[in-house]
Amino acid sequence: MTDLTSLTLSEARDGLARKSFTSLELTEAHLKAMEAARALNAFVLETPDRARDMAKAADGNIAKGAGGPLAGIPLGIKDLFATKDVRTTACSKILGNFVPTYESTITSQLWRDGAVLLGKLNNDEFAMGSSNETSCFGPVVNPWRREGSNTSLVPGGSSGGSASAVAALLCMGATATDTGGSIRQPAAFTATVGMKPTYGRCSRWGIVAFASSLDQAGPIGRTVRDASILMRSMAGHDPKDTTSVARPVPDYEAAIGKSVKGMKIGIPKEYRLDGMPAEIEKLWSEGAAWLKAAGAELVEVSLPHTKYALPAYYIVAPAEASSNLARYDGVRYGLRVPGRAIADLYENTRAEGFGAEVRRRVMIGTYVLSAGYYDAYYLRAQKVRTLIKKDFEDCFARGVNAILTPATPSAAFGVGEKGGADPVEMYLNDIFTVTVNMAGLPGIAVPAGKDSQSLPLGLQLIGRPFDEETLFSLGEVIEQAAGRFTPMKWW
Ligand code: GLN
């Protein structure tokens, strides 16, 4: 039998339905791969016993012809999703050994559809970061390496564990979240596919909040089709999240292979940055040529407020974070560091529990929301946000179906290489992704090529609100043209 971990999710689903193998065999193969890949630090908690129980239950259902759309498929879950009776930490010391008594809506939908939990995946602390280096469990290592080098590279962040685990074939797919790029940037760094849905498409209930008006969960998969399959189970209206939208969930997989003939694809001139590496420029033109060959029409578009997106994001996101993170006070859950008076307990707990990047965000956020600065920073950033959204609306009103951009300004970088002296160096990584969150739009990152050091690079497609299907169709055109990329196993 071929190594079961090398199948795509859709192949595994079909194999399970044909009874070529069982979910227990598929799950065991992945548990073995996880054990052999601990050097990547992708999982912060392995749940093998639960995985076996869930796999056996799935096998029973499949035998009865009652398996759901993900019956028996082993998945990894970002540690930002609350999982009932399974430790959930957001990779922060402040949550300590928090064990939720409830399940997030998204994960409950995955289990409803028959998926199997392999364990919880590493991420940047509270999803703040672009390299997975802010996790209290330590950095995740990218399974990709520069040609002829054994330097450890970051998998991107904040969903670094999800991307690394999917790329290294440790799980068949993973959940992730994206506030400013955390699904798409790690997907681009690891040659996986990441879909950030429209704001409101997936429920945020039971996901640890970072910046509530920007946060949206989505899948990371091995292929565009795999991401589309996961997306169908993750999406949907949830009365427990008032920002989730009551629209029917389409069969996203049906969008795979659909013709893109006649579609209008925008190429935004503002994304052509000064000093952008030639290989990113080349990848972008190649992607445009593939879409053109498939019958799409390419048009230059302008998104004039793009240059304000990153500074505005780094006001809005910390502002919301400072408010959301106020609940970690040492009283309700997680870590408690006692003090003489209650205020000392708060201070001691937060000083000890939060890492440096989280403290920085809380301080920036509190500052921009404080009396006297609110109008100058927060309110102005919100106005800029409206203009960014309008840029996209104008573009779509002219008949553009989707926008093509690079996913990241570079390939994966080395662990410890960026942001040590200047945090802005790290923030610049989000330059192509934050606009999408500011506008609440869907965006997909698809592997499209390699750089001169043989590291994967991704392209991003940005869509109209609730038109994830078009992104899956276009994404698959790129995937077909570029081919699939798998890292050489060294771990
Ligand atoms: N890198 C961005 C940040 O640090 C985005 C993170 C995310 O999308 N969760 O805020």
169-193 confidence digits (pLDDT tens): 999 999 999 999 999 999 999 999 9
Whether ligand 1 lies within 6 angstroms of the CB of 119 is answered as no
Catalytic entry in 158, 244, 322, 410: 158
What's the average model confidence in pLDDT over 116-126? 98
What's the average model confidence in pLDDT over 321-335? 94
Query: What integer pLDDT is reported at residue 2 of this predicted model?
Result: 66
CA of 317 to the centre of ligand 1 (A): 8
Distance from first CA to last CA of the chain, Å, rounded?
Answer: 23
Q: Is residue 303 part of a domain?
A: no
CB 241 within 8 A of CB 205: yes
Q: Is residue 252 part of a domain?
A: yes
Catalytic entry in 10, 23, 78, 108: 78
Could you report the per-residue pLDDT of 348-357, keeping only the tens digit for each?
999 999 999 9
Backbone angles phi, psi at 285, to 5 degrees: -65, -35
Query: What integer pLDDT is reported at residue 31 of this predicted model?
Result: 98
What predicted TM-score, i.e. pTM, was given to this entire model? Answer: 0.98
Percent of the chain with pLDDT over 70: 100
- Average pLDDT over all residues of the chain: 97
Catalytic entry in 130, 182, 244, 322: 182
Q: Is residue 200 part of a domain?
A: yes
Query: What's the distance, CA 167 to chain centroid?
Result: 13
Range of the domain at 75: 4-262
CA of 178 to the centre of ligand 1 (A): 7
Query: What's the distance, CA 119 to chain centroid?
Result: 17
What is the pLDDT confidence band of residue 421, given thresholds at 50, 70 and 90?
confident
Q: Is residue 220 part of a domain?
A: yes
Percent of the chain with pLDDT over 90: 96
Is 370 known to be catalytic?
no
Give the residue whose CA is nearest to atom 5 of ligand 1: 180
Q: Is residue 169 part of a domain?
A: yes
Which residue(s) pair with 402 in the sheet?
265, 463
Q: Is residue 470 part of a domain?
A: no
Q: Is residue 42 part of a domain?
A: yes
CA of 376 to the centre of ligand 1 (A): 23
CA of 158 to the centre of ligand 1 (A): 6
Whether ligand 1 lies within 6 angstroms of the CB of 317 is answered as yes
Could you report the per-residue pLDDT of 206-231, keeping only the tens digit for each?
999 999 999 999 999 999 999 999 99
The CATH number covering residue 89 comes to 3.90.1300.10
Task: Characterize the bridge pairing of strands 264-268 and 402-406.
Answer: parallel
pLDDT at 1 over 70: no
* Number of structural domains found in the chain: 1
Q: How far is CA 376 from CA 278, 315, 368, 369, 388, in A?
A: 38, 11, 8, 10, 18
Q: How far is CA 74 from CA 24, 191, 192, in A?
A: 9, 20, 17
Whether ligand 1 lies within 6 angstroms of the CB of 179 is answered as yes
Tokens of 142: 């990218």
Query: What integer pLDDT is reported at residue 283 of this predicted model?
Result: 97
Query: What integer pLDDT is reported at residue 275 of this predicted model?
Result: 85
Is 158 known to be catalytic?
yes
Q: Is residue 118 part of a domain?
A: yes
